[in-house]
Amino acid sequence: MSEAGYQARRFCLPHIELAACCYGPEEGIPVLALHGWLDNAASFARLAPLLPGLRIVALDFAGHGHSAHRAPGASYQLWDYALDALLVAEQLAWQRFAVLGHSMGAIVSVMLAAAMPERISRLALIDGLLPFTAEAEQAPAKLGEALRAQLALAAKRKPVYADAQQAVRARMQGVGAVSREAASLLVERGLQAVPGGYTWRSDSRLTLPSPLRLSRAQALAFARAVQCPARLLLAEGGLLQAQPDIAERLQGLPVEVQRLPGGHHLHLDDQAGALAVAHSLGPFLLAAADR
């Protein structure tokens, strides 16, 4: 166990090597934790220690944190992450396991649970549920946008920060703004030293537009196909709550919704938010032992 309270582990998959932070006893209820876009496994650094009885394996998604980047020409689509998560579960010999997902990680969790219902025992979602969607008539323009961005990628350069605190300030103001403490945790795992200072470890391709998006009907079909118990924590100041049609999208879905105060990273921003999330999701995930 490290000073940070987790065990570091690496998974050598057939196509990529992924890093993870592991919390709790090895005999605990198995939980795979999936972070959000441009975050890393440190997203669960506050929450995981508050969830006793669980064996939490918090992954760095491919291209994030300490995980390897995908090979040239490979993609970072949601279904690619779902396969990676499933292959990690295979290496862990987890035939059935719960998934704890935040933001993009929650979206991947829903898709995995819908596609592989025999493998997922519980679905715990933090301010994330459905991907951004586009309809059929938008597909050619979306692909063109993505192809042009791919061609322009070689000329793009990552920002270089003179010190880590500059990166912390930048992360505080990024998409899904976070507290200083949360940004510090994410930055500590997300930076690497380069000439002149520090830059992000993450793959530059992660910021490219998606070449193809699910339609609204397809996205809802995944959510409706979830068969295991599912709980969504909706942050009152989060990104989901800001969507004008969120109430309509949630209607009729097999997901229990609880609203909590806080922003998009409520589980990481401060200890009070992490405790509130743990109070809700701890008993919910422990109940997976009864199934």
Number of domains the chain is built from: 1
If DSSP codes are grouped into helix, strand and coil, which group holds residue 23?
strand
Would residue 77 count as lying in a domain? yes
Would residue 150 count as lying in a domain? no
pTM above 0.85, yes or no: yes
Q: Which residues constitute the domain of residue 71?
A: 7-135+215-290
Would residue 202 count as lying in a domain? no
What is the overall mean pLDDT for the chain?
95
Environment class of 290 (CB within 10 Å of its CB; exposed 0-12, middle 13-18, buried 19+): exposed
The reported pLDDT for the residue numbered 174 is: 78
Residue 91's pLDDT band (cuts 50, 70, 90): very high
CA gap 57, 85 in Å, rounded: 10
Query: Mean of the pLDDT values across residues 185-192?
Result: 97
Would residue 61 count as lying in a domain? yes
Given 103, 109, 202, 210, the catalytic residue: 103
Q: Which stretches of the chain are DSSP H helices?
A: 78-91, 104-115, 139-152, 164-172, 180-190, 216-224, 246-250, 266-269, 271-286
Contact (CB, 8 A) for 236 and 261: yes
Is 43 among the residues known to form the active site?
A: no
133 Cα distance to chain centroid:
18
CA gap 128, 234 in Å, rounded: 8
55-82 pLDDT tens trace: 999 999 999 999 999 999 999 999 999 9
Would residue 102 count as lying in a domain? yes
Would residue 173 count as lying in a domain? no
* pLDDT at residue 3 greater than cutoff 50: no
Check which CATH number belongs to the domain holding 274 and give it.
3.40.50.1820
